Amino acid sequence: METVPGPAEVAGGVWSVALPFPNPLGFAFSYVLPVAGGVLVVDAGWDSAECWDAFRAGLAAAGAGLDDVVGVVVTHIHPDHYGLAERIRAASPAWIAVHPAERPRIAANRHDRERAIADLAEWLRQAGAPPSEFAELAADEEDIKARISTVVPERDLVDGQAVPGTDGALVAVHTPGHTPGHLCFHDRQRGLLFTGDHILPRVTPNISKRPQSDVDPLRDFMASVRKVRAFGDVTVLPGHERAFTGLWDRLDVLAAHHDERLTEIVAAVGAGAGTVWEVACAVRWSRPFERLQGRARRSAIGETFSHLYRLAVEGRVRWEPGRPDRWLPAREHVA
Ligand SMILES: [Zn+2]
């Protein structure tokens, strides 16, 4: 676990507030920006008493209080970026804004959560996961689903739209891939890019094909990587880890990482790995696949699936949908 840094001014009046959450990344950043009439919050941490205290301490460090929060803009609705949105809205005049493509995944009620877990079980069957894996994976997912906020945002932000109240200085940039409605935010005056989980300085974001993801999330992610090249000369303020410069170098590393993984997966299929599960077992991860647990293991399955799907679209492997899906080398030798 990383140590959680205290609130810090990262650029002309903009403060980062690290909010801890139970994940090897250690914390997620909220950012507090001065705007006309108060402050704007970019991302809203994990929902816990500890985070709520840390968030309020961060606001105070930035010279603001809850009454000053005019709006909360969210890069995506994962619980480490959206968790406190409800508490903030209840305690302040703030509105909440997301990209409309995030809305279907806001778990509106218990029925939706149950369906989401059923979809996950079907997805595991499609991936060829052994029956012994289902209980652990589903139990962990249930816990995560319970943490997904049910708070319905009052505003939408689409690509190229200025964030209300910023006089056009902060612009939403749609960067699907990690999630369908992921947004970055470009601060034109300060030369900042808030990247959420789209671009992190060290970790490669998880690009999973799974229930409720995009049809072809890896294609979308790579297009979103190319898209943010337009902001080369910015300071990147990511959702985790630390601020950094040198965006283009990082984008090159991410593109190369996925190219290598695609090549590795073609080789695994060529060597006989025939299901998502078998391919995931054959691919190199940060730790061996057998040692990945719970959410990390599901992420690896989703990541493998997103690459296999892309390879099938490109004609580099063949996909035979079923239970489980079968993945075969591209070239068919007809006798
Ligand atoms: Zn995150």
Which tokens belong to 33?
Answer: 């920006």
Helix (H, G, I), strand (E, B) or coil at 328: strand
At residue 335, the pLDDT reads 47
CA distance 262 to 58: 42
Q: What separation in angstroms does the CA of 174 have from each of 38, 79, 205, 239?
A: 25, 19, 16, 16
Q: Characterise 63 by phi-psi region: left (phi > 0), alpha (psi -120 to 50), beta (else).
A: left
pLDDT at 328: 97
Backbone angles phi, psi at 333, to 5 degrees: -95, 110
**76 Cα: distance to centroid of ligand 1 (angstroms):** 8
Angle at 225 between CA 11 and CA 32, to 5 degrees: 25
Q: Quote the ligand 1 centre to 187 CA distance (angstroms).
A: 20
Angstrom distance (rounded) from CA 250 to CA 263: 20
Which residues make Cβ contacts (< 8 Å) with residue 98, sequence separation at least 6?
73, 74, 76, 77, 153, 155, 156, 157, 181, 183
Are 72 and 59 within 8 A, CB to CB? no
Query: What separation in Å is there between the alpha carbon of 249 and the centre of ligand 1?
Result: 21
DSSP 162: B
Side-chain-side CA neighbours of 154 within 13 Å: the count stands at 11
CA triplet 236, 102, 171: central angle to 5 degrees? 40
Non-local (6+) Cβ contacts of 44 within 8 A are 30, 55, 72, 74, 81, 82, 83, 84, 85, 88
Which pLDDT belongs to residue 253? 97
Centroid of ligand 1 to alpha carbon of 43 (angstroms): 10
HSE (side-chain half, CA atoms, 13 Å) at 312 = 17
Residue 156 Cα to ligand 1 middle (Å): 20
pLDDT of residue 249: 97
For residue 329, list its beta bridge partners: 317
Per-residue pLDDT tens for 302-319? 999 999 999 999 999 999
72 DSSP β-pair partners: 41, 96
pLDDT confidence of residue 108 = 62
Q: Which residues are near ligand 1, the ion (C-beta closer than 5 Å)?
A: 80, 197, 239
The verdict on pTM exceeding 0.95 is: no
Tokens describing residue 77: 């609705």
- What DSSP line would sit under 219-250, residue for residue? HHHHHHHHHGGGGTTSEEEESSS--B--HHHH
> 22 C-alpha to center of ligand 1: Å?
11
Listing DSSP states for 34-62 in one string gives: EETTEEEEE-----SHHHHHHHHHHHHHT
For residue 268, the CA-to-ligand 1 centroid distance in Å is 29
- Alpha helices, DSSP H, located in 101-216: 110-127, 132-147
pLDDT at res. 86:
92
Residue numbers of the chain with a pLDDT score lower than 50: 335
- 138's tokens: 């589903």
